[in-house]
Structure 1
Amino acid sequence: MSDDARFLADSPDRLTLLLRLSEGAASPSELAADGPSSRRSVQRNLAEFADRGWVEGGGGTYRLTVTGALVAEEHAAYVDALDRIDAFAPLFRHLPDREHAPDPAWLDDADLTVATDEDPQAPVHRYVTSVKRFDTNRVRMLSPVLSRLFHEAHATLALRGVHTELVMPASTAERARERNPTEFAAVVRSGALSLYRCPDAFRVGLVVGDDRLLLAAYDEEGQLRALAESDDSRFHAWATELFERYRERSERVTG
């Protein structure tokens, strides 16, 4: 860790002070009145900032230099990213690897639903409600599990004429066929569903509509533990690409 990074990490008040100065020049007494630090602490930090070339003083006030402004912006972005990672830790914790994790920067406006001891089915119920509300012409979907609740939610879309492309692990698709061969064949031949059988097991779920998506994280027992919902265009593009990678290595089921 660089000395500057260590210096900023030692006290959150230093970022607060830099951000206040990014709003305009101020005196030590004004900075102390606006923030959580005493005037003595403010003056000590200003002296350190000046030594590092982040501020310059004149007429009893201090202002950020260009370097200081860049430091303030980048450190604030770093802290924000860490806060988002912490907020979405229940999702990240159950994703299989970094390849299946969205960029934290895309999660600013995402909604997260997490299974808790009090409500272990919370993400399942949110999934069902959200899928039924999708306003889309096509759904692209990864599903590692069989679920009657999920089936019913997607049936609602099918009745509205929405076509679903579904990729499942081969073992999961075969279990679906074995449970009810007649229903399985009817669904596959209905035209409402294009089913693909992936040779590899996976434990991430995905529902991608025209402009909205759900990302589902499962534990090793196949229980849905966290669900993120977003309409961020960057997240959507990433999710679409992830689906395409799975579909490309999968085989179409025709009956």
Structure 2
Amino acid sequence: MSVQTLIDQVEAHLLIPLVGPKCANRLAQFDVHATDCIKLFISKGLGLGIVLGSSILKVPQIVKIVSAGSARGVSFVGYLLETLSFAISLAYNYRGGNPFLTYGEMAAIYVQNIIVSLLILAYNGKYAGLILLSLFLAGFSYALIDPTLITPQLLTTLQMSTIFLGIASKLPQIYNNFRAKSTGQLSAITIFLQFAGSAARVFTTVQEVNDPVILVGNVVAFALNLVIMQQVLIYRKSKVAGGHLPDYQKRKSPKLD
């Protein structure tokens, strides 16, 4: 196979599906002045990487909880609010017709967040809450997709609220980590992937989505993930287990955060 044939194959099967025929042709010709096309290609590549990576984003967290037989240190309130935020944003982007690679990871993370939330309830013996949460999320997800139940105007308002939901979802986890001087059963791998993904998502949003509401939400998510990432690095040597529980945990029985 000649070099030109290989370039033609890459253009036809990789570049055109990602950036369209016009940019694909300029990139295949190694046009260094096609800055808009280069940025679009980087954005699409990052978006694809985020979507693929998101399929296993919370798997380390799930494995860590199951292996430890405990969800200690993982905030139920934080996960619940984050799950609601992802459900709203997923519906908003889908119904708004935004490119899939600018939001596709939300679907995978949404499902994984539900699994983590259910595990937290299960390991705390809250089986009735587990059933109620499952029913609520099923109904809420259906309503978000149906425009006769949630109008476009209401969905826009809900999307704006995700900025505050995002803040509220992370603050309990940040506070728990600070109070315990430990990140408990939080997975460092998951936290790092969230941090890297949120940073990349800010770039892809700027390049491909002309929606300030989505951009502000992504910037806020990046800032909060940065804080938690720093906590993981600071507290990584702090182990709170067995007889080394902090005093506040020794004095009272575990409760859902």
TM-score range, shorter chain: under 0.3
TM value normalised by structure 2: 0.26
Which one has the bigger helix percentage?
2
Which one has the bigger strand percentage?
1
Higher-RCO chain (CA-CA 8 Å, sequence separation at least 6): 2
TM value normalised by structure 1: 0.26
Structure label with greater radius of gyration: 1
